Structure 1
Amino acid sequence: QLFGGPTYQLFGSGCGSHSEEFPPYIIDHPTDLVVRWDQPATLNCRVAGSPAPTIEWYRNGEYVETSKDNVYSQRTLLPDGSLFFLRLNQRKGQSDEGVYTCVATNHLGTASSKNASLYIAALREDFRLQPSNLLVTVGEQVLLECAPPRGHPEPTISWKKDGVPISQKVSSGKLLMVHAQRSDAGLYVCVASNQAGQRESKAALVSVLGEETVPSLGLAHWAWRSVDSQAALGCGVEGDPLPKVWWHKEHGELPWGRYENTLRIHYVTTFDSGRYICTAQNQVGTASAKASLTVQGKQLHTAFTASSMPGLGHAHGQQRDLSAQHTLLPACPGNWGRRKAVTCDWAHVTSLPCPPTSPISSGPL
């Protein structure tokens, strides 16, 4: 019984018998749909009427051809009146996107459904704004921003840290950490998603530093080992994060045998004379210190003089003295014996054996 009127027996599309005739009306209206181009889609439309109404679909006001009209069509009119797409067409001028209307007709009248829009989901590749690397100290605010690729429907934004999804709430694509902690350091990726798929931004490195961030270093005194005529110079480094350390020689190449914070020169010759520089660097600043080495080769006599000069560290345009000046003056008497290495900064005396003279270490300075 319809709204207190006479009793009708209702028929969907394709029903044969009837008791009393009545014009068609729409039971279920189609709704907006967003679908991937390579997936099937169905626009629903269920009608009633007696005699059973015929169903037609219109897209943007134009009749939609289905498989009953063309056996090669990807569109099929289902028995209940719904429109089924095996695969959506994206070709220019033939796209299935548009506004659809279901129309039911019998000899008593016509009923049209509400309009329903069909969209093919899309998501471009390029992010409109990539997240940037950030360097902050503990307690500072971290704000990572991201503008996703254009797409339909509008993609949603989430974030990953070191490859793991973050459950933290995201506002307008922005990831906010009010008070940064050391544990917040890592690689962050912005993720854009919709029905068309998922896109990931370039990774942004977030570094969280403590208060002591500027590298500082100091050179130890030269050490001598007579067994293999080895000279060694240590470079003590501090900084947060721990700085990277490397050595180089002014106006020349480093000899073989250098190791991280300690420079080792095996089988020292006059060619090893020169100024050696230790450099320490982290994300916040750089520091360097220099030490000079002079090798004098004479018959039965070898002598070193070495000194280190203050290094300068800098961070954000500032400079400060990072190492004290010190001098090593080992001397060997004219005959075989022992020599003394004196380091003024450490106020101690080390007795070292004088190495035998070898042809490779003799010659002018």
Structure 2
Amino acid sequence: MDKHIILTILSSCILTVLGLGPPFPGDDFIRIKELPPAAVIARNSGGLTLSCSMAGSPTPSVAWFKDGVHLAGTQDNPGGLGETWARLNLPCITEEDAGIYECRGEANGHQTTTSTKVDVIGHTHSGCIPRNRGGSAPKITGWYSTVMITSGLSVKLSCSVNDDAGKVNVVWKDAMGKEVKESDTVALHGHDLYINGVDWSHMGRFTCTAQNGFGVDMISTFLYPLAPAFSDLSNMV
């Protein structure tokens, strides 16, 4: 029997038995999915949230910057194929917050950027607690909404939390709603979840919940294991 036919049959059997998605044969890329507004007028002492997302292969890192300074988002590429979100929260806005904010994405050397111009109007009002003074509710600023990763590889699921939230309790839960505990294949570092040797049993939606005495925030990541590349299957024949 022709080797190509054997490989096709074998790959089909593997997908059926293991419940894996097909391998992703495409080239590296990155593109904007959720586009933030080009311009925003914010009121002095008010609040503003800017969000953007980018999809790519490998799953991109996405973050917000102002004047070259990293403000919020992720800084790592977990590999695979997926979509990443970056969310910037600006409470108690002042005139110093006016300017150009850039949402930058990077995936294996491929980069793309979009920007938002923020203008601040009005006068300062009492009752607005300046940032970095006192406690605040946690806000998750960077995460992966979807990660598709080749079965057998390791993956990092990010749950970046704003620094000014202070001490935060972070809990990860799996697709069954059970709290994720460390094991031989699962590790928790900071707020992030690491899974070694991803397989079909890991498929599903993981949730990250960040909580302190001032509030709670939650995001979710859908993890989807892919079949090994066709070339990898040939080594099994």
Same-fold call, TM cutoff 0.5: no
Which of the two has higher C-alpha Rg?
A: 1
Could you say which structure has the higher helix fraction?
Answer: 2
| TM-score, scaled to structure 2 | 0.41
Higher relative contact order (CA 8 A, sep 6+): 2
TM-score by length of 1: 0.27
